[in-house]
Amino acid sequence: MTTYTIPVGPLHVALEEPMYFKVEVTGETIASVDINAGHVHRGVEYLTMQRNFYQNITLTERLCSLCSNSHPTTYCTALEAIAGIRIPERARYLRVIADEIKRVASNLFNVAIMAHIIGFDSLFMHVMETREVAQDVKETIFGNRMDLGANRIGGVRYDLDAKNQDYLSQQMERMKADLAEIVDIYRNNSMIALRTVGVGVLPHDKALEYAVVGPVARGSGVAYDVRSKAPYAAYDRLDVPVVTETGGDVRARALVRLREVQVAIDLIQQCLRDMPDGPIAIGGLPRIPAGEAIAKSEAPRGELIYYLRTDGSDKPERLKWRVPSYMNWDALHVMMEGNRISDIPLIVNSIDPCISCTER
């Protein structure tokens, strides 16, 4: 059979962001993949060095919509490490809550898109309806549906009063029943199994070799989670189970994401239970001395690393970050080969690529 090339992207309905895959196919089977990135480079890293530390909190939040809270959280953690700031206890918990509510929305979004790609639109609508609860929570507590604006140097910018705490725990309770049903559908529905089991397999050894992170790693049985390996914010005070699946295929990754939503809800409830009273941030605008620091966090897509070097001025000398999608997308080579054309969007979606973070 002859091999021919089909272009997937840079604009494709099933890809949420521009990314170009040059796919060589033999019949309906994928022979090889060439990944071409760089369509949405905006020069944000350079831009951060032109702005002061406080402006950069806003800028990093706007890197990407789905992990918009992970970036400023990690950036602020790096700054606090350089300045030697210990943030108030209550602020630690509030950072966890903001992080986890974003994780709930982000993971549900990805899993919903998976249903859409296999043409199961009713399930897509059902998952998005459940996600809407998380969106309502964000809007009520933070005033926005996507960018929370929760972080500042030395703490957070929002507080939960008794009324909002009640509302939050009520909404989390409300999601639980729906979530249990959704997990059951993704685990047991035969139509989902037909399209996702054994598709886009990343074996355990390849997962280690490619050093994938986040749900992609945990779907292949690698129990790596920054929240438990190198706890930040209040994660060392909370019980954070690491969710893993062993399949290494598209369904395993979806199941990891769904179960992490359940863990996230549990974490939010733990926070609401354990959160002490007190200030939410240190007062004033701290001076940042010269120094360098690395901060890590577990974004919805996996490990996010910030490197920051300062020279005593009010601007970063160098700010660089490594996003989870950068580690994950190379593993697409392993996942795609030998699969069918119809599975390309499904496999790409299963690593939940965030192009706007990766190419900034």
- Under the rule (CB under 8 A), what is the footprint of another protein? 4-7, 12-14, 28, 115-123, 125-126, 129, 191-192, 194-195, 340-345
Q: By C-beta, is 13 or 162 nearer to another protein?
A: 13
Q: Pick from 297, 360, 358, 294: which is nearest to 322 by CA?
A: 358
Q: How far is the CB of 258 from another protein (least distance, A)?
A: 17
Q: By C-beta, is 164 or 189 nearer to another protein?
A: 189
Q: How far is the CB of 36 from another protein (least distance, A)?
A: 17
44, amino acid identity: V
CA distance 128 to 132: 6
Q: By C-beta, is 23 or 357 nearer to another protein?
A: 23
Q: By C-beta, is 98 or 192 nearer to another protein?
A: 192
Q: By C-beta, is 49 or 194 nearer to another protein?
A: 194
Cβ burial of 348 (10 Å; 0-12, 13-18, 19+) is buried
Q: How far is the CB of 203 from another protein (least distance, A)?
A: 22
Q: By C-beta, is 194 or 223 nearer to another protein?
A: 194
358 is written with which tokens? Answer: 């990766």
CA distance 192 to 115: 8
Q: By C-beta, is 260 or 343 nearer to another protein?
A: 343
Q: Pick from 70, 268, 300, 275: which is nearest to 176 by CA?
A: 268
Q: How far is the CB of 317 from another protein (least distance, A)?
A: 45
CA distance 69 to 106: 11
Q: By C-beta, is 144 or 342 nearer to another protein?
A: 342
Q: How far is the CB of 296 from another protein (least distance, A)?
A: 34
Dihedral angle computed from the Cα positions of residues 140, 143, 145 and 149, in that order, rounded to the nearest 10 degrees: -130
325, amino acid identity: S
Q: How far is the CB of 37 from another protein (least distance, A)?
A: 21
Q: How far is the CB of 145 from another protein (least distance, A)?
A: 19
Q: By C-beta, is 192 or 263 nearer to another protein?
A: 192
Q: How far is the CB of 112 from another protein (least distance, A)?
A: 12
Q: How far is the CB of 100 from another protein (least distance, A)?
A: 27
Distant-in-sequence, close-in-space partners of 290: CB < 8 Å, separation ≥ 6: 310, 311, 312
Q: How far is the CB of 201 from another protein (least distance, A)?
A: 16
User: In residues, how long is the chain?
Assistant: 360
> Do residues 346 and 13 make contact, with C-beta atoms less than 8 angstroms apart?
no
Q: By C-beta, is 66 or 192 nearer to another protein?
A: 192
